[in-house]
Amino acid sequence: MLPLVEGTATYKLWRDVPVPMQMQLWVFDVVNAEEVMEHGVKPYVIEKGPYSYRLRKKKENITFHANSTVTFRQHSWYYFDREMSVGDENDTFTTINNILLGAAYMTRFEYPIIKEMTKLLLEILGGNLYEKYTVRDIIWGYEDPLLKIIKDDILGALNLSYTLDDHFGFFYKWNGSDDGQFTVFTGAEDLTRLSKVDTYNGLNDAPFWSTPYARMLNGTDGTFFPPFLDKQKPLFFYSPEACRTLHMDFDRENIVKDIGTYRYTFPTSLLESGTVNPDNVGFCTPNAHFCMPSGLLNVSGCRDASSAIMSYPHFLGGDPEVINGVSGLHPDPMHHASFLDLEPTSGVPMEVAIRLQIGVYVSNFSKIRQLEHTTSYFHPIFWFNESTLITDGLASQLRTELVEVVQAVSVLHYVLPCVGAVLVVISVVYTLYRRKRQRKLRNQSLENTGQPKPESDSREDDPLLVT
């Protein structure tokens, strides 16, 4: 049932996930933008959402290899669900001007002349630190005036061949695209390697990080996990969104659709600062001298040099200085922690909720005018919850074809020895009864013929069992 081979039940589920998936978004609206820009006060945010999307994933360009691996690309489509949303995608909110901040961030280590040119350009064309955007624009992309001027009027006038996209969005070009090229093991030769990543985009490590531990591709692609889960061992999977391997630890036993599961959650150590957890030094960008506080992951190295920071929603589990840098945040594990419920025998996901937040680091990079009054802080822009729950039909099928079979085998493990013992007792009792009855009949026969009874009721050559 389990190997990712054409014809198995698992392969059908793996290729085109039949369970309904959704992504929900919550944006942070800054209500005191003018005071922040003019007087450097702490930003105050109000959460708006959810804005819901139906999500469909399908694996394409599937190619099997002789070493029991398979290569594929997983495409994702997002469909806005107005009925499940608090408003339309055209709803506006005030947040950071990411192009201005990103330009300042990218030139922070450049030569002074580059910094001065950037500063002059941003002062003339950059706009304000905080601007109004629609939900659709900030997520899926919009044409930015500054990028368009640089592309058309500056690079074009200088006849430079450098390619610059004049659109920006945190999930720009994600809708209808793929996560990259995965090569994973099918489990045909070894089920313990089921769905484990061999390479991603042709590489066997993540080149964005600086240590072997940080670069390793460990675990699965997140679709399935090897069977026979061990509570003592963490689950590893590679996340293209985080550009790194993530892991979850066993939290507790749970029940989903009347099926027992193991629930896994992200441990605190996963996003601990490199200054606290030496294993995480490799995630400090560009080097160990630039470690983020605990609860944050700098993904700028794999996000086209943007200043994007990934964390848990509302900076859950982050340093107090990070949480207190913005007013209006209320981290709550019940609503903001991720979890993964797996059926422990097969490793099939039953319920999933992966909750992550995108934010930016704000500071007066390169002494830009629009940043001159700001203090340094981490600003949340939006967080999302990508979730799924197994359907009643698939849960019933799993119960019938696997769970009930495993339970029956478990019961038989104890019942069969008992049945065997009872059969042995019955056989012995029946044998003794037969022997006693035969002796009685033999004695009666001797009495009827007038022959004397034998001195003993048994002889050495009497069989132990009488058939």
d(CA 52, CA 384): 9
Listed as ranges, residues in the chain with pLDDT below 50 are: 410, 466-467
Maximum Cα–Cα distance across the chain: 135
* pLDDT value for 366: 66
Domain boundaries, the chain: 14-390, 392-467
* Beta carbons within 8 Å of 12's beta carbon, 6+ residues apart: 18
d(CA 80, CA 52): 6
* pLDDT value for 97: 92
pTM beyond 0.95, yes or no: no
d(CA 206, CA 240): 10
pLDDT digits (tens, 9 = 90+) for 32-47: 999 999 999 999 999 9
* pLDDT value for 289: 84
pLDDT digits (tens, 9 = 90+) for 99-116: 888 877 777 666 677 777
* pLDDT value for 208: 87
d(CA 349, CA 21): 12
CA distances from 85 to 88, 274, 352 (A): 7, 38, 20
Torsion angles phi and psi, residue 431, rounded to 5: -65, -45
